[in-house]
Chain A
Amino acid sequence: MNDNQEPVLVCKDLCISYYTRAGEIPAVVDFSLTVKPGETIGIVGESGCGKSTVAMAIMQYMGANGGIKSGGITFKGRDLTTLSEDQLRSIRGSEISMIYQEPFASLNPSLKIDTQLMEVPLAHENISKDEAYRRSVKMLTDVKLPDPERIMASYPHQLSGGQQQRVVIAMGLLSKPSLLLLDEPTTALDVTVEAGIVKLIGDISKTFGTSQIYISHNLGLILETCDRVFVMYSGEVVEEGTINSLFTWPKHPYTHGLFSCIPLPTADKNAAPLTPIRGQLPLPFERPSGCYFGPRCDHFERGLCDSAHFKMENVDGGAPDHRVRCLRYKNINHVKAQPGGTAKKTLKIGKSVLTVDRMKKYYEVKDTSLTALISGKRIRHVKANEELNFTAHESETVAIVGESGCGKSTFAKVLMGLETRTEGEIRHNGKNISKISVQDRSTKQIRSMQMVFQNPFDTLNPSHSIGGQISRVLRKFGVETDKKEIFDRVMTLLDTVKLPRDFYFRKPRQLSGGQKQRIGIARAFAGNPSIVIADEPVSALDVSVAAAVTELLMDIQRKHKTTLLFISHDLSVVRYLSDRIVVMYLGHILERGTANQIFAPPYHPYTEALLSAVPIADPEVTKRKIVLEGNLPSAMNPPKGCPFCTRCHRKLGDICDNELPAEQVVADRHVIKCHIPLEALKKVAPVIHVPDESERLQQQVAV
């Protein structure tokens, strides 16, 4: 990076609006940004704050109803807003390319990868097809895809999500662009796959000297990939600076807020509860006068913050390119950003409530292909759950973590009685419920075990009022029968989930995602259940909303002494809220233990890789990098030996391929399923290193 070099991209005072029937929506206002050669810029913010709009404006692809109102976008000295469609075409894909959030949707489903890759250089350069093919294969190798020839001959749907995203990245790099836009490139991917892609993205600028703009809502990922970061709020930048200065000394209250709503894998729920940002992102036409963040800011000062809109200014005494849009930043006492709510009391764990004993669930799928017909193997099994063992106690939060397809949701369905298990036993309060499907369960049984779903939309009836739907649940469970009593109960439930009482009369579509999820929680807790299963309850929500919903769930659980089974793929959240963790992979439990046991050695090799893949938004925390190679095997055709053997970085050899490892008991209720002897596993160094106070001081002295 050279400061004297001409910048690759300059956005100056950019205002972008969408024009809809309801009028003009000023999605982005006064956005300025400079990208130097080889630099990686991060743009972070909640959904709807205008990140994608900026990216699309740079590509000059605004759709039918979007347009740049004022300001300029200069790319290598040319103003992109004045170029003709033909001139733009020669820049798109060759000088600026883009990587998208959903790799599968971005690839044409009916064309082979080779066609889709080769057309990029063919469109921009005068080269032969052979040359284009050669380059495509080389680029696939460069993005670390094994067996590039096979990939070239595949259709997109024949590749895994991680492979697809690598193909899209290869496509973007094929004509050696000077600027690469990445719009949430890993949001749709699993953590360990994400880690691989993030590493690849980091290598790109080193290998190709490409400048990048990396858009994400995840501060941890920004920290790992970028040189400078822009924090956006409601269509404008509120703070910008180098990673180092902004992450160490964030100045804007919103930036602080973002840090306090993400759980760090080093903190837990009782010592340092999350502090969600109250309120919601204002819609573009509802922005307040003065500071847009005003209504949600704890440092708001009437008469000052709400009088007139104001510009970014350089941080006094900060790094030269650290700028902030806040009038009072100097008056705010900036303690180091940390999840910093007041500590809550630890709950006592009660008696055992749920026991799962050697539970198996196989799905049967009929194979109708001709080969199957000939070989006679018409019915194949998807081994969704293999021999699951574990227990959960009263007031305990047990997290089930694992990547997509590892069998988490199947397990939840079996517990709820929506599916019946193939073998084994599930006992709830001593009663065997494994064979009773949900239709045959008594109201009391159903009532005592409830579920919160990932997508609250799917479970709310759009045509009934919120109050009506909760009342129905109450009546069905026989909690109350009297009309008046039911009404009162609904009101208390609305209070419990911290929603205004007049939501009783609202319809689901009038609610935001976070509010819907609160209704989902209210419904689940309506019958005072003893167990609540929450299947990725916050993964579809924005960070600040997710933090609020998580806290709510914890509070209600504390009050009702509920056993919470929390299904998630996010280890930071899991570490934060759970007492015990179960790590699943391909239907097997590879490790289970208390949160502390899971987060400290001895680790199962897979747990170790998972921990290493968690993005951490704290520049002081260091991690040991472990990037898994290879793909998740299909559950239809799992490896014969250890389920993790195709990707394991500590694989011993043939024994791992051929024999399923036994459970090794480390301590009471801490179990690891691996062939490596415990002594060896205990010698493994911790993955995450948090400097303690003395180290921190030393570092500061060194700076």
Chain B
Amino acid sequence: MILLLLKRIGFMLFTMVVVSIILFLLLETGLTGDPATRVLGNFASDEQKEMWRDQHGYNQPTVVRYAKWLGNFATGNLGTSIRYKGPVKEVLLPRLWNTAVLGFWTFAIMIPLSLILGVLSGMKEGSILDRTISVFGILTTSVPEFASAVFFSALFVFGLKWLPGTSSMAGGFEFKQLILPALVLVVYDFGYVARMTRASMAEVMTSQYIRTAVLKGLPYKQVILKHALRNALIAPFTVIMLQINWLLSGVIVVEFFFAYKGFGALLLEASLNNDIALLEACAMVAVVVAVGSQTIADIGYTFLNPRIRFT
């Protein structure tokens, strides 16, 4: 267990270094064009560019610059955002928090909903309930987020006038503004998780140990709750954990649409504006979240599945 954690942390650091080197090479060296041009624009004079380079240490060898950046990054100095004219840290943290809030509510609705529906339809494969849920799940998943965002806005904002159309939280946090973005995300994602759960539940229900449980004369409720559920939830659990990754980048469209100030919108702006330091920091966050959620998934998996429990 500890070994796994150590391994994972090592792997995470390694990935972070690799990703940062790639980004560094792409953005901060001449490989993909002159960074000074990228920052100052096409119409800056050569002297201006040269001055900028000097100022920002671009005339030093790449290795030295990378080592400096790495040193700064490791000690918590994430650099300065060009776009927001301030330390990256101060820009990034509130944005992450906002996305986490959005993610939390999305998950809080999506997970119970999709698990319950998935289990219900997997319990009796081919029943009317099962077919209804499956068709509904496929429908909602196949509608892209921007389409459902438009649809829900039309319905709740312009039609019924129940909810605000933007979620910028300009006047401080307001729960009402969170509803639409969360709704769009739930609708998009729940079908996928529900179908995974259904498939897993259906497989468990045809397994021989469920037959054993039924033929032991156990009440149906006990067969489901005690014997089927736990085995059926192993696969969806892993999928849900992977959804965290999706949430981090997949929210771009939704955040942009509703002008929600989250991580996705930040990422978009950083790349549109060549905000190098910000991009690097965002990438690092993404790596940490990816490896982190995978680790949690693996550990959770071993708890759900005693066959591969650590010795």
Contacts and interface: CB of A to CB of B under 8 A. Distances in A.
Interface of A: 59, 61, 64, 85, 89-94, 97-98, 100, 102, 105-111, 115, 119-120, 123-124, 155, 157, 168, 171, 368-371, 373
Interface string B196-239: 00000000000111011111111110100011001100000000
10 contacts: A85-B220, A94-B217, A108-B209, A108-B213, A109-B307, A110-B231, A110-B306, A111-B226, A111-B227, A370-B311
B98 to A, nearest CB: 38
Contacts of A64: 126
A107 B212 contact: yes
B3 A368 contact: yes
Contacts of B311: 369-371
Given A64-B126, A89-B217, A111-B227, A373 B307 contact: no
Contacts of B271: none
A124 B217 contact: yes
A97 B304 contact: no
A123 B216 contact: yes
Contacts of B63: none
Contacts of A91: 217
B215 A110 contact: no
A108 B231 contact: yes
A196 B230 CA distance: 34
Contacts of B217: 89-94, 120, 123-124
Contacts of A370: 1-3, 310-311
Given A108-B209, A109-B209, A373-B3, A89 B310 contact: no
B208 A369 contact: no
B48 interface: no
B142 interface: no
B212 A106 contact: yes
Interface string B131-147: 00000000000000000
Contact of B215 (A59, A85, A107, A109): A59
Which size bracket describes the interface of B in this complex? 20 to 34
A120 B212 CA distance: 11
B300 to A, nearest CB: 13
Interface in B225-284: 226-227, 230-231
A119 B218 contact: yes
Contacts of A157: 306-307
Interface of B is mostly: helix
A93 B215 contact: yes
B7 to A, nearest CB: 9
A423 B92 CA distance: 61
Of listed B217, B219, B220, B230, residue having the most chain A CB within 10 A: B217
Nearest to A112: B306
Contacts of A97: 215-216
B305 interface: yes
B305 A110 contact: yes
B246 to A, nearest CB: 28
Interface string B275-311: 0000000000000000000000000000011110011
Contact of A61 (B209, B215, B222, B230): B215
Given A100-B208, A369-B311, 10 more contacts: A61-B211, A89-B219, A110-B304, A110-B307, A111-B227, A119-B218, A123-B217, A123-B219, A171-B216, A370-B2
Contacts of B307: 109-110, 155, 157
Contacts of B126: 64
A157 B311 CA distance: 14
B295 to A, nearest CB: 16
Contacts of A373: 3
Contact of A102 (B1, B208, B214): B208
Contact of B208 (A92, A93, A106, A111): A106
Contacts of A171: 212, 216
Closest 3 CB pairs of A and B: A93-B217, A93-B216, A92-B217
B232 to A, nearest CB: 10
A97 B213 CA distance: 11
Given A97-B216, A123-B217, A369-B310, A109 B231 contact: yes
A110 B304 CA distance: 7
Nearest to B227: A108
Contacts of A107: 209, 212
A84 to B, nearest CB: 13
Contacts of A92: 214-217
Given A64-B126, A371-B311, A105 B215 contact: no
A90 B222 CA distance: 14
Given A64-B126, A109-B306, A98 B218 contact: no
Interface in B123-179: 126
Interface in B1-28: 1-3
A107 B211 CA distance: 10
A61 B310 CA distance: 37
Contacts of B310: 369-370
Contacts of B214: 61, 92
A178 to B, nearest CB: 14
Contacts of A109: 209, 231, 305-307
A64 B202 CA distance: 13
Given A111-B227, A155-B307, A93 B218 contact: yes
Contacts of A123: 216-219, 222
A111 B310 CA distance: 17
Contacts of B215: 59, 61, 92-93, 97-98
Contacts of A168: 212
B221 to A, nearest CB: 11
B214 to A, nearest CB: 7
Contacts of A155: 306-307
A318 B49 CA distance: 111
A105 B207 CA distance: 8
A192 to B, nearest CB: 25
Nearest to A108: B209
A124 B222 CA distance: 13
Contacts of A61: 211, 214-215
A369 B1 CA distance: 8
